[in-house]
Amino acid sequence: MELVWYVILGFMLVMYIILDGFDFGAGIIHLFFAKTPEEKKQIMRAIGPFWDGNEVWLIAFGGVLFAAFPTLYASAFSGFYLPLIMILWFFIFRALGIEFTHLINHELWIKPWQKSFGISSLLLALFFGVAFGNIIRGVNLGGVENGIAQFTNSYAFFTPLWDGSFSPFAERPGVIDWFTITIGLVAVLTLTIHGAYWIILKTEGEFVKKLQSKILPLWIVLCVFVLISLVAFVAMKSFNKELFSQHPSIYLLPIVAFLSLLGMLVFRKSNKNWLGFASSSLFIASGIGSAVASLFPVVIPSTNSIVESLTIYNTASETYALEVGIIWWVIAFILVIIYFTFVHRVYKGKLTKEHDHH
């Protein structure tokens, strides 16, 4: 049952990043590339009916994590308390930026809230990437110093925003180091292209052509950071090299990631707009899948040799709870699918001025 719930959690995480990820990307595009009021409105039309519903996946992910892997939930939410609070504030200002922008038709009111939407979206994409980098790199479980655990609960840890070395190989690494920042930049660039493809898919006009021309330089920079992150990732102590040799089928995930990364470039000017969005979605899914599979069964690696890493087996709920929970998850999942099917059928196709939604 632990493996089943692990797959469910992975699926929900991927769905959240794909769906709310294009909202983050749209916000980044709103901040850097949308110059005219009409271009900014075009972005809001593209995400307006969907952005708040997309966040359901994150809330559900947190609930499932608490129910299925309570030890992991407690450890992660206490250890990453400071960055999680920062992320919460970014969510608040992002939502305010969307909802408050047009309450008063005055430039002094509109511009600050538009900046709030764009900057919050940028920082959310960055911090989610940094958070994922922390999971890959691992944390100092037990707060070990000089070979002695400082916390009575060995699964407890505290991660400062950064440490003096700024190195992922430090004994007590911070949330931010050169490796996690690299993963954060990969996330920002990926979601910017993902958001561009969503806007291209859902709207039309000159702004679409403008975005298509921006994808190539963004893609080149993304490839550079992907290569840097791959080299660093292989050097991480948490990377389970033996798993790939024992299960060669796992190589399909990075192969799909590579092909979908190429697709993000090839389909940038295709008349079939859904191909570009499908490529970026597949790149997100296969990229996350490759990283998670390479750690299995570890969910938070320990950077010290004193305290064992957190795995799906030593953090899971009792078998009975997992078995009962699967029934309620299926019911909830069906309801969510009904909602999303309804919304996307109502707002299918290109969204025009008649679909303005704030």
State residue 149's pLDDT score. Answer: 75
Write down the pTM of the prediction.
Answer: 0.91
State residue 358's pLDDT score. Answer: 47
State residue 316's pLDDT score. Answer: 92
Which residues are CB-contacts of 162 (< 8 A; sequence separation ≥ 6)? 174, 175, 176, 177
State residue 83's pLDDT score. Answer: 86
- Bridge partners of 302, per DSSP, are 139
In this structure, the dihedral spanned by the alpha carbons of residues 11, 168, 179 and 290, taken in order and rounded to 10 degrees, is -30
**Residue 313 belongs to what domain range?**
2-355
Residue 167 token pair:
């190195």
pLDDT tens digit sequence for 248-285: 888 899 999 999 999 999 999 888 889 999 999 999 99
State residue 255's pLDDT score. Answer: 94
Selection from 312, 319, 322 nearest residue 6 by Cα: 312
Total domains in the chain come to: 1
The three-point CA angle 354-269-22 to 5° equals 55
Low pLDDT (below 50) residues in the chain: 358
